[in-house]
A and B are shown apart, each in its own frame.
Chain A
Amino acid sequence: MSGESTVTTRSKVERSLGKRRRKESIFRILGIASTLVGVLFLLVFFWTLIGQGSSAFLQTFIEIEVEFSEDILAPAGELDLAYADFDAIARNALREKFPDVTSRSERRELNQLISVGAGYQIKDAIAGDPDLLGTTLLMQVPAAANVDMVLKENIDRNLGEDRRPISDSQLEWIDALIADGSLVSKFNVALFTNGDSREPELAGIRGALMGSFYMLLITVALAFPIGAAAAIYLEEFAPKNRWSDLIEVNINNLAAVPSIVFGLLGLAVFINWMSIPRSAPLVGGLVLSLLTLPVIIIAARAAIKAVPPSIREAALGLGASKMQVVFHHVMPLAMPGMLTGTIIGMSRALGESAPLLMIGMVAFIVDVPAGFSDPATALPVQIYLWADSPERAFAERTSAAIIVLLGFLLVMNLAAVIMRKKVERKW
């Protein structure tokens, strides 16, 4: 080869090198840009979510001198928990603070500052300790949601009286209560201990949380073993023919079926045909299992396929049976991948609301479910229900419920990651 042609080759390479480098840097800039956009959106998401939702974790209470009056609680001489007017006790205690309020309409307005939850709290107090009868106790009872909203500045004081849900005189009273230190802000325990309620200040997500928990328990208990078993059979034992191809195509398609279709299936099969009670976590869990199965099967098959054939051969060559090869060697190596698929499937199941709408889990359910067959709702459905409610105070609770849902997801995934780390072998 002549020297000249070497030079031209080199200059050609160098010329193309510049072009290649340019392409590379452009690609890198694009990559950084897209990552930044993703991070930006995530930050905006968390910013708004926490900005709107964090206030729901604090709740305003009114400190009142509750007089367990015998006139009201025991008109016939004996304590009567069933018919006593506990709300009246709360109202009287509040009115003590405002002796000037005398007219009937003003009184009614004043009464609106206190939550109906105050009556329940007084009832619980006297029920727990009957000796309180006739005494006076300083209690912190929940304030009405609108009082809470004024304190959190979610209701604009500067708007005209007709444009806000709270009157001028109510605002005055609230200011007076603030001035004498009767309004206290405390951690909103009710949000985590109560079921749903029409009153925002009493509404909690425990019902939805437990509903989701029971459903996912069923989902993981059904979908993981069935999915893993199906994947192992299809990958290791099933003959490769037209039927197994057909099954594979169908499983892949099932993973892409809109979730509401699974809800319809659940309605038809589990509720109408098998007569499982509707709104129950049991039926929800079954539907979510169907939804999760294809995801788990696909991930598990990929994980099984990724096990090096040399390991199988080594075991076979030693005289291990097919079962021993699968359970001693393939499964342990494929387990992390299978668990990853399960995490993905479960995360999807936790966030599903559409199929649950079809099986009656969208109902307004006040009681916290205590088992798999109690009526329940789920976190995403609860979020939907609250987002749909007109009361101003439900807006922050919606965001708070989303935060709890994300927290639930985080805890669940963390557990799965720890489990995966445990089964994962570094070598």
Chain B
Amino acid sequence: MDRLQQSDNYRRMTAMKELTGMDEDKPEEPRVVDSSPAKMVSSKLAESTTESELSLTELSGRTVGDVRCADPFMIAENVNVYYGDNHAIQNVTLEFGKSQVIALIGPSGCGKSTFLRCLNRMNDSIESARITGTITLDGQDIYDKDLDPVALRARVGMVFQKPNPFPKSIYDNVAYGPRIHGLAADRADLDGIVHTSLERAGLLKEVKDRLDEPGTSLSGGQQQRLCIARTIAVDPEVILMDEPCSALDPIATARIEDLIDEISENYAIVIVTHSMQQAARVSRRVAYFHLGLLVEVDDTDRIFTNPQHKLTEDYVTGRIG
């Protein structure tokens, strides 16, 4: 923890140096740089920066950019998550639009996955987790006492980091969701759902002759597409993806990215990713998280070409993370 904090302080220091053009060679500037990094931060970045510049260089809790979007479908308002005493997500406000892919990026442990799991209440199963703030889906508070998380998760599907097909046949994997929710009227109906879902996940051609083979017999990329097909089969409104390609090779990754692109017009997609290229390729908006704070949100091209916040810039240019 100590090391982490220190390196973080160091980043802030360098960030400040670059932004203000401060240099040890210039005697007229305050000589704060020579002091230890810890002392440095405690001196509140000194008097050398103006108020507005300050907000763009250090973690202030204020989000840079536009958290709102044109046609919000899911709205997270002042969301805080605590794991016991650990304040994992701090005051995050973010809107998710329909037919829009938003990528959550940030260094490990920044809380992007935690935030993602708030959106379909997967954090409910963690006993120490406590969530404040409001998240609404199509105007309905998803943390409402009367709302059953089971019903919510049928509307907000999730694809996980590691492909996790059930140890059942390919058919049963896709049919499971519709079965438990009673979406199919009869067997033919269910067959139809399974086929369309596999087709939309781009998997039908590869598996249509072996639907009764185990889902786990597929390759990693195919398994992940099977998981996406399984999620689509329930016909959700929002799909959450938690680093869906991190366990896949580049070719399988490319296929998944194409798939995300294709299905994005029908769903609001929130994807957590560690790959900047992936975020740039698949998303329309990008949200940058850092130490539990939402630092910056903007259109993807602006984040990658002209980030406003120093930390965002450092991250997307590969200086941190």
Listed in ascending order, the chain A residues whose CB lies under 8 Å from chain B are 239-240, 308, 310-311, 313-321, 324, 328-329, 332-333, 425-427
Contact = CB atoms under 8 A, between A and B. Distances in A.
Contacts of A318: 153-154, 157, 176-177, 180, 230-231, 234
A320 B231 CA distance: 12
B160 interface: yes
Contact of A427 (B127, B164, B167, B181): B167
A319 B167 contact: no
23 contacts: A308-B164, A313-B158, A313-B160, A313-B164, A314-B165, A315-B176, A317-B157, A317-B158, A317-B231, A318-B153, A318-B157, A319-B152, A319-B154, A320-B180, A321-B150, A324-B180, A328-B180, A332-B167, A425-B167, A427-B167, A427-B214, A427-B216, A427-B217
Contacts of A332: 167
A242 to B, nearest CB: 14
A319 B166 contact: no
Which of B180, B181, B231 counts the most chain A CB atoms within 10 A? Answer: B180
B227 A314 contact: yes
Given A311-B164, A311-B167, A319 B214 contact: no
Contacts of A427: 167, 214, 216-217
A314 B174 CA distance: 12
B151 interface: yes
B152 to A, nearest CB: 8
Given A313-B122, A314-B227, A427-B216, A320 B164 contact: no
A319 B157 CA distance: 8
Contacts of A240: 127
Contact of A317 (B151, B153, B167): B153
B162 interface: yes
Given A320-B176, A333-B167, 13 more contacts: A310-B162, A313-B158, A313-B160, A313-B164, A316-B125, A317-B158, A318-B153, A318-B230, A319-B154, A319-B181, A321-B180, A329-B166, A426-B214
Contacts of B127: 239-240
A240 B154 CA distance: 28
Contacts of B181: 319
Contact of B160 (A310, A319, A321): A310
A426 B168 CA distance: 10
By Cβ-Cβ distance, the 9 closest A-B pairs, closest first, are: A317-B158, A319-B154, A427-B214, A310-B164, A319-B153, A318-B177, A314-B164, A427-B216, A321-B150
Which of A318, A320, A426 counts the most chain B CB atoms within 10 A? Answer: A318
Nearest to A333: B167
A316 B166 contact: no
Which of B152, B176, B216 counts the most chain A CB atoms within 10 A? Answer: B176
A7 B207 CA distance: 56
By size class, the interface of chain B is: 20 to 34
A333 B216 CA distance: 14
Interface of B: 120, 122, 125, 127, 150-154, 157-160, 162, 164-167, 176-177, 180-181, 214, 216-217, 227, 230-231, 234
A321 B181 CA distance: 10
A426 B169 CA distance: 12
B164 A319 contact: no
Contacts of B164: 308, 310-311, 313-314
Contacts of B216: 427
A310 B158 CA distance: 12
Contacts of B227: 314
A317 B121 CA distance: 9
A136 to B, nearest CB: 72
A320 B176 CA distance: 9
A321 B148 CA distance: 10
A320 B150 contact: yes
Nearest to A307: B167
B272 to A, nearest CB: 14
Contacts of A314: 160, 164-166, 227, 230
A324 B179 CA distance: 11
A316 B160 contact: no
Nearest to B158: A317
Contacts of B159: 317
B180 A319 contact: yes
A291 to B, nearest CB: 34
Contact of B150 (A310, A319, A425, A426): A319
B180 A317 contact: no
A333 B153 CA distance: 23
A115 B231 CA distance: 78
B214 to A, nearest CB: 4
A324 to B, nearest CB: 6
A319 B230 CA distance: 11
Nearest to A426: B214
A386 B172 CA distance: 57
Given A320-B150, A320-B180, A315 B120 contact: no
Nearest to B216: A427
Contact of B234 (A313, A319, A425): A319
Nearest to B154: A319
B182 to A, nearest CB: 11
B287 to A, nearest CB: 21
A315 B160 CA distance: 11
A316 B122 contact: yes
A423 B167 CA distance: 12
B62 to A, nearest CB: 32
Contacts of B162: 310
Contacts of B166: 311, 314-315, 329
A311 B120 CA distance: 17
A319 B125 contact: no
B89 to A, nearest CB: 19
A319 B177 contact: yes
Contacts of B154: 318-319
A321 B179 CA distance: 13
Contacts of B177: 318-319
A318 B158 CA distance: 7
Contacts of B125: 316
Nearest to B120: A317
A200 B28 CA distance: 114
Which of B157, B167, B230 counts the most chain A CB atoms within 10 A? Answer: B167
Nearest to B230: A318
B235 to A, nearest CB: 11
Contacts of A324: 180
A302 to B, nearest CB: 19
A333 B127 CA distance: 24
